[in-house]
Amino acid sequence: MAWYNDANKFYKDLKIMKKILSIVGARPQFIKSAPLSKEIRKHFTEILVHTGQHYDQNMSPIFFEELSIAEPDYNLEIGSGGHGEQTGKMLIELEKVLIKEKPHMVLVYGDTNSTAAGALAAAKLHIPVAHVEAGLRSYNRTMPEEINRVLADHLSELLICPTETAVRNLKKEGITKGVYNAGDVMYDALIVNRKVAENKSKILETMNLRPKTYLFATIHRAENTDDKGNLKNIIEAFRQSKEIIVFPAHPRTQKMLKEYNLKLSSNLKIIEPVGYLDSLQLQTNSKKVLTDSGGVQKEAYILKVPCITLREETEWVETVDDGWNVLVGADKKKILRAIADLNPEDKQHTYFGTGNSASRITKILVDYFKVMSLSNHE
Ligand code: UD1
Ligand code: UDP
């Protein structure tokens, strides 16, 4: 016991002794891992695995470059595919890496197929799983993300929630052990990179945009991209608004816009997906945001830009409660009304923490191993 009284020695030994294997694969996971990976590496040996779910220059490498994320130790290069195919291939390859690396813990982020595959591969090998962004629910099981979240949460030993709502959601499912609210790690990323974006991003100049004269849009959810009627309604609402709308289009959205042969109006500025710095800069300077992204809803809230969410429900209910976000689905009339009328009061809360989530999560991980070590020494 006395051996562990020296905290510094404990942390030093922890770094030598404990290996955390983090799994990322999709755009928002690179952003979330940027602040956390840097903190984790102060106390642990981190092995970073990229499943290869996202792979285009503007969907993956650009985030590693802009956010100085360490080169992944493994890139499984799984690529795109049907849900079963993609998740299955990930499981096969992740299992091999886990058997080889024998980590003490596997860390997964969010709700993608990479999250579900990572949690399942680890749990089957009896490796404890920590789920960052645990407890979020849309209560819509037709969303692939909802299935991935529920699965990851029910397989995890540490459930690291971004909000109190998420903690409550888990309680409703009977999960109370190993649950922590550590704030939102995307908030950390935003705080650090907002100023960097202001100084480095040239997107406003390149696109000849003046601040607060345009709207910013992103769309990538299956319910919008894979439903011709929904995508058509949204694009038609964009046309009728007559606003300048800057729309960095996700590859799946680009593909479906072509496939459906939808007529695109000249007020709609469709561009390739942008890097994180350009995304922050475009959002900060927009009048309003139109999106079906989870991350963008939160960023809009934190940046105090009114958000119009092109979905019927949201996991980030706090942004709606405060009046900064409205749910309009793919309803043309509701979209147009919100573009014209949404004007929230200047009222906000610290639902997402204070921007120190990465160090809080790392402390949770350190304490977890401390308790394990102490119980092994008793
Ligand atoms: C995935 C996640 C979603 C997350 C989103 C973040 C799942 C089920 N969905 O959705 O939760 O919000 O990432 O952006 O895991 N494609 C490319 N190049 C790429 C990546 C994708 O062309 O680099 C195209 C492919 O045609 C692919 C399609 O986009 O089939 C969809 O990609 P996929 O990763 O399956 O799902 P996302 O819609 O990106
Ligand atoms: N984002 C980006 N470039 C874009 C669109 C979004 O960097 O062209 C960023 C955005 O600022 C946010 C994150 O990607 O930080 C959100 O990821 P995404 O919308 O892909 O997934 P979700 O959050 O819905 O899971």
- Report whether pLDDT(378) > 70: no
Phi and psi for 174 in degrees, rounded to 5?
A: 85, 10
* Tokens at 80, concatenated: 């795109």
* Calpha distance 13→9 (Å, rounded): 6
Give the model confidence (pLDDT) of 352-363 as tens digits.
999 999 999 999
Pocket of ligand 1 (CB under 6 A): 26-28, 53-56, 59, 80, 111-113, 144-145, 220, 251-252, 255
Residue 289 has pLDDT above 50, yes or no: yes
Helix (H, G, I), strand (E, B) or coil at 217: strand
Q: Is the pLDDT assigned to residue 17 strictly greater than 90?
A: no
Supply 37's token pair.
Answer: 């990976």
Q: Whose CA is nearest to atom 11 of ligand 2?
A: 279
**pLDDT single digits (tens) 312-345:** 999 999 999 999 999 999 999 999 999 999 999 9
Residue 8: the pLDDT is 67
For residue 11, the model assigns a pLDDT of 67
Q: Are 234 and 334 contacting, i.e. CB atoms less than 8 angstroms apart?
A: no
Are 159 and 175 in contact by the 8 Å Cβ rule? The answer is yes
How many whole angstroms separate alpha carbon 278 and alpha carbon 288? 16
Rounded to 5 degrees, φ, ψ at 274 are -105, 165
What's the pLDDT score for residue 1?
Answer: 46
Say if residues 109 and 21 touch (Cβ distance below 8 Å).
no
pTM: 0.96
Q: Is the pLDDT assigned to residue 376 strictly greater than 90?
A: no
Ligand 1 atom nearest residue 293's Cα: 12
Residue nearest ligand 1's atom 28 by CA: 252
The yes-or-no answer on residue 220 being catalytic is: yes
> In this structure, which residue's CA is closest to atom 31 in ligand 1?
252
Quick one: what percent of the chain has pLDDT higher than 90?
A: 92
Which residues, 6 or more positions from 12, have their beta carbon under 8 angstroms from its beta carbon?
A: none
| Cβ contacts of 14 within 8 Å, gap of 6 or more | 43, 44, 366, 369, 370
**pLDDT of the residue at 347:** 87
- Report CA-CA distances (Å) from 296 to 216, 291, 304: 10, 7, 12
Shortest-distance atom of ligand 1 to CA 111: 11
pLDDT band of 206, cuts 50, 70, 90: very high
Q: Which residues pair with 109 in a beta bridge?
A: 132
pLDDT, one tens digit per residue, over 268-287 is 999 999 999 999 999 999 99
DSSP SS3 for 227? coil
Query: How far, in Å, is the centroid of ligand 2 from the Cα of 112?
Result: 13
Give yes or no for residue 2 having a pLDDT over 90.
Answer: no
The phi-psi region of residue 135 (left if phi > 0; otherwise alpha if psi is between -120 and 50; otherwise beta) is left
Percentage of residues of the chain with pLDDT beyond 70 = 95
SS3 content of the chain, % helix, strand, coil (to 5): 50, 15, 35
Query: What was the pLDDT predicted at 246?
Result: 98
Average pLDDT, the chain: 95
Rounded to whole angstroms, what are the CA distances from 149 to 79, 84, 112, 164, 169? 21, 16, 8, 17, 12
Model pLDDT, residue 372:
82
Q: Is 201 in the pocket of ligand 2 (CB under 6 A)?
A: no
Between these two residues, 214 and 9, which has the higher pLDDT value? Answer: 214
pLDDT of amino acid 373: 77
**Range 250-264 average pLDDT:** 96
Give burial (CB, 10 Å; 0-12/13-18/19+) of 174. Answer: exposed
Ligand 1 atom with minimal separation from the 221 CA: 38
- Does the beta carbon of 293 sit less than 6 angstroms from any atom of ligand 2? yes
